Amino acid sequence: MEKNLNNLTLTELYQKLAGSSLIRRALELARDEDLGLAAPATPPGALPNPSAPSGDITSLACIDPHAVATLVLRARTPCTIAGLAAMPLLLEIFAPTSTFDPWCQDGRPVPAGGVLGRLQGPHRQLLALERTMLNLLSRLSGIATRTAQYAAALGPTSRARLYDTRKTTPGLRALEKYAVRCGGGFCHRLGLHDAMLIKDNHLAGVPPEQLADFVQAAAQRARLLRPDLWFVEVEVDSLKQLQRLLPICPGLVDAILLDNMTTAQIALAVETRDARAPSVQLEVSGNVTLDTLDHLSRTGVERISAGSITHHAVWVDIGLDSAEGAVDS
């Protein structure tokens, strides 16, 4: 059920996610919204064509076209780093003749003041790159930092793993799920296309006595439509629903999601699952916080999913410094 996505190293995971072109498209969109659509290259010493997209008009007017700069990426608050894997693509898109020398790796904790790497290249290029780069690293490192806090709260002996959700920033899901892995969490499905999660909206109108037959037929159709389906999961909000589904699960349904249940209900669900279908994994979702994680993990579930590790993550402060001081835009 884990697929190879959660067994990959961070380097392998980023390469797999980047292979879909989603990351490139997101970064090209970021370029176009900052520098203008299809911003043309301006020859050294020349002024931009006023009828064409402008590029970085401030740098074109202020910075000598031959000026070269050396800048340092620095974490200004303690954090877990994520996003450095995207630096080569960022340079290709924003600063093609510049270089980045990493002094840190994704997934590593960094203290306040820690240097992440050094950038060298044409000053105009680095200024065009700066804001998108800092936005991305700050956002992704914020997710990795929050995920690391949640993962640590599970404790080293817990059988439960922390999973993300689809509650991600539109267009940045691949990168934000990568950031979750950098923080020690695990990837749930990437989207609606690679795994099946039957939720309450899909089950609306299905009589309780027909629940098992409905789920069984739907899961069979999904596996025929998508032979490489990652997993099939069904959401339940009562122990009665769980009891109806467990007999059909082995070999067809991989996991059952226990939605917004109390700790006592979850513990009883684990006992029921262990007795009737021990191969089926149980996932907890809803009201997952740092304060509840330890109690939830002690119930015996295998999976705990928390949308807040992405949608409540706070950006960390990452800056770009030169030998003469901080550069900020």
CATH code where residue 51 lies: 3.90.1170.20
Quick: pLDDT tens for 198-247.
Answer: 999 999 999 999 999 999 999 999 999 999 999 999 999 999 999 999 99
Per the structure, the complete domain to which residue 59 belongs is given by 10-151+314-327
- Please say if 106 is a catalytic residue: no
User: Which positions ≥6 away from 34 have C-beta within 8 Å?
Assistant: 128, 131, 132
State the pTM of this model.
0.92
Does the residue 302 lie in any domain? yes
Annotated catalytic residue within 108, 199, 223, 276? 199
Quick: pLDDT tens for 180-201.
Answer: 999 999 999 999 999 999 999 9
- Please say if 16 is a catalytic residue: no
- Please say if 199 is a catalytic residue: yes
* Total count of domains within the chain: 2
Is residue 161 a contact partner of residue 302, using CB atoms and an 8 Å limit? yes
Q: What are residue 161's DSSP bridge partners?
A: 303
Is residue 26 a contact partner of residue 172, using CB atoms and an 8 Å limit? yes
Tokens encoding 12: 């392998």
Annotated catalytic residue within 56, 164, 233, 235? 235
Same domain (yes/no): 69, 209: no
Annotated catalytic residue within 131, 166, 223, 276? 131
Is residue 182 a contact partner of residue 82, using CB atoms and an 8 Å limit? yes
Same domain (yes/no): 28, 165: no
> What is the domain-level CATH number for residue 187?
3.20.20.70
User: Which positions ≥6 away from 287 have C-beta within 8 Å?
Assistant: 260
Quick: pLDDT tens for 123-170.
Answer: 999 999 999 999 999 999 999 999 999 999 997 788 999 999 999 999
Annotated catalytic residue within 259, 276, 298, 321? 259
- Please say if 259 is a catalytic residue: yes
- Please say if 271 is a catalytic residue: no
Annotated catalytic residue within 167, 223, 276, 298? 167
Does the residue 253 lie in any domain? yes
